[in-house]
Chains A and B, each alone.
Chain A
Amino acid sequence: MDSGALSFRVMDENDTFQVQCAGEWTVRHVESVDSALKEIKSRRVAGREAVLNLAEVVRLDTAGAWMIQRTAAQLEAQGFKVRIDGLTLAQQALLDAIEHSFATVEMHPDEGPWYIALLERMGATVRQIGNNIYDQLAFFGLVIATLGRAIRNPSRLRLVPLVHHMEKAGLDALPIVALMTFLIGAVIAQQGAVQLQKLGAEVYTVNLVAIVFLREVGLLLTAIIVAGRSGSAFTAEIGSMKMREEVDAMRTLGLDPIEMLVVPRVLALVITLPLLTFIGDVVGLVGGGVAVWAMLDTTPDAYLVQLREASGFWTFGVGLLKAPFMALVIAMIGCRAGLNVTGSAESVGRQTTSSVVQSIFMVIVLDAAFAIFFTGVGI
């Protein structure tokens, strides 16, 4: 039995049973003898003495010492009287310092077969979704109640944070919203014109742009940009405050975190998202105008005239009416995810991801619901 830097030899003669250990018994090397050591046994045990001889061990560290102790314990369990020999003083001290319990610890909880684990995860996820919906509704109610109190008693409205968040979530988002809506407006007009030209109906391109953009795309695009930009920022801001116990500190000082942190953000988004949508709509129509001018030679004058014929007040109104509701959903999901942060920085990351995914999903679900509703009432 020899493997590189360390080795042991079992001598099983008439009256001696000896395990001779040699070499470097350190964490780097012990693995090579781990299983061989476990297999040491003897046919004749009864009352014999087993000697572990360490005289040739050149280095010993905790891992090596632990393995020696484990072997001693194992021989004792077989009925030997065990003696450890040839130790230096330092090695003796080390052996004494290592405790003598060798119970294997369960460090990686047993998850059972994979199909059970799969079912378990599915169940847990479904339950979590249920809880999530319930909690979100409860939070919704709480914020609305706080908002109601703040409106009845306007001195409780925090104006400075409100304006601050309006600037960050609204004004600062303008360039990206304008750029995106302009491009998408132009793309819709260009693609629409190509398809309608095949039918000889290219005059309807303007109608297409007006209806699609004002009713749906302008708002959806803006809401999704805002969800990605501001919803995530809300989660991260509130989440890191929660992590550093600032939110708890607020509570102990008699400040309501909902009133201080959530209400200004919700209000800011409810005010700015319709404004952003309005600007997005206008810029999108300009984009569409540029595209039809380039492709179909429709002059801006003619474009405006046709636009006025194609869209009534409600084409525009439907899109704008949905905006505050979208804002409410985005801000509430963002803020609640922030307040759900626990302990670690990793949890901030996880909550931010989930907040963005949830709010974009909810924006689209809400849009579908509104589409059914508006069709139902006939506008």
Chain B
Amino acid sequence: MGGQDDFIIQVRGLNNSFGGHVVHENLSLDVKRGEIIGIVGGSGTGKSVLLRSIVGLQQPQSGDLTVFGQRLKDLSELERQAVEQRWGILFQDGALFSALSVAENVQVAFREHLSMKPSLMDELTGLKIRMVGLDEGACSKYPSELSGGMRKRAGLARALALDPEIVFLDEPTAGLDPIGAHGFDMLIKDLQRALGLTVFMVTHDLDTLSTVCDRIAVLADNRVVLVGTMDDMLQSNHPWVREYFHGPRARAARSIR
């Protein structure tokens, strides 16, 4: 494997606009296999739209999206489904199916895509639930009975059900307490190491960015203005990047560490 293949996701010349409101203009981004990349940017700069475009929840006006070396545009319906099973998505607040218990939420993909004995399905579900750090007692609970942090963990278990190669996370630590957020960060890092995952993470959390992200991509002015490590961010002269990484909260986050 070399050259192009090292990039698991390639975005080229992406354009997105709603009515007259331009969100992305000629946006390009490469994600390396096995890395955790953090996407930052002000509110409304189109981080979620970028994520949704890559996973096909949103049709971009134009642009080339290549994932696993396959151009998504060129794929037939069947090939596309096969590709979709190779990634998992954690939505903000989990987006668990409210009519199903946590265990059933995790099993949705098993039932839909594999034919598996119920007993084995239950055992594997238990494995996934424990893997994301939930108690087994949570299996039979319904999403409305869980706290926000537990819902996110359950959502992650669902996203990991089929052992995807990429997970997309939209603000995974937003709304969690610092201990819960730190736990979630560590969980993502551990899973990424153990499973060799590629993680595409939209986040605002400076701690997450500095502790778990291998690289950071900054969205501003309708495109990716900067990609690099935390050190690159700190040395950048871009006004928004400066303000973000040198602002009072950033200083506070660094001084605690």
Contact = CB atoms under 8 A, between A and B. Distances in A.
B103 interface: yes
A88 to B, nearest CB: 11
Interface of B: 98-99, 101, 103, 110, 114-117, 119-120, 122-131, 136, 139-140, 142-145, 160-163, 190-191, 193-196
A342 B136 contact: no
A62 B139 contact: no
A93 interface: yes
Nearest to A345: B98
A62 B143 contact: no
8 contacts: A62-B127, A93-B193, A98-B194, A101-B130, A104-B126, A107-B140, A344-B143, A345-B98
A305 B255 CA distance: 94
A104 B127 contact: no
Interface string A103-138: 011011100000000000000000000000000000
Nearest to B131: A62
Contact of A107 (B139, B142, B163, B190): B139
Nearest to A62: B163
B126 A94 contact: no
A105 B139 contact: yes
A79 B144 CA distance: 46
Contacts of A94: 194-196
Contact of B127 (A31, A34, A93, A98): A98
A31 B116 contact: yes
B144 A342 contact: yes
Given A94-B194, A347-B144, A99 B130 contact: yes
A66 to B, nearest CB: 5
Nearest to A93: B194
B98 to A, nearest CB: 5
B163 A26 contact: yes
B103 A346 contact: no
Interface residues of A, number: 30
Contact of A344 (B128, B130, B144, B191): B144
A31 B98 contact: no
A31 B120 contact: yes
Interface of A: 26-28, 30-31, 34, 61-63, 66, 90, 93-94, 96-99, 101-102, 104-105, 107-109, 342-347
A109 B140 contact: yes
A107 B125 contact: yes
B163 A61 contact: yes
- Interface secondary structure of A, over-half rule: loop
Given A34-B120, A347-B144, A105 B126 contact: yes
B1 to A, nearest CB: 14
Given A61-B195, A107-B140, A346 B99 contact: yes
A26 B126 CA distance: 17
B200 to A, nearest CB: 19
B95 to A, nearest CB: 12
A346 B124 contact: no
Nearest to B163: A61
A114 B122 CA distance: 22
Contacts of B117: 31, 34
Given A62-B127, A344-B143, A31 B114 contact: yes
B143 A107 contact: no
Given A94-B195, A107-B140, A28 B127 contact: no
Contacts of A342: 144
Given A27-B162, A344-B143, A66 B120 contact: no
Contacts of A90: 196
Given A61-B195, A105-B122, A344-B144, A27 B139 contact: no
A107 B126 contact: yes
Given A34-B117, A347-B144, A27 B126 contact: no
Contacts of A98: 127, 131, 194
Most B CB within 10 A of own CB, among A31, A96, A105 = A105
Contacts of A99: 130-131
Contacts of A344: 98, 142-144
B123 A104 contact: yes
Contacts of B139: 105, 107
A103 to B, nearest CB: 8
Contact of B144 (A30, A104, A107, A343): A343
Shortest 9 CB-CB contacts between residues of A and residues of B? A97-B194, A343-B144, A61-B163, A105-B126, A344-B144, A344-B98, A107-B103, A107-B139, A105-B136
A357 B191 CA distance: 49
B190 A66 contact: no
Contact of B124 (A27, A96, A108): A27
A346 B143 CA distance: 11
Given A61-B195, A343-B144, 20 more contacts: A27-B161, A28-B114, A31-B116, A61-B163, A62-B127, A62-B128, A66-B127, A97-B195, A99-B130, A99-B131, A104-B123, A104-B126, A105-B125, A105-B139, A107-B122, A107-B125, A107-B126, A107-B139, A343-B145, A345-B98
Nearest to B123: A104
A63 B124 contact: yes
Nearest to A64: B163
A90 B101 CA distance: 33
Contacts of B190: 97
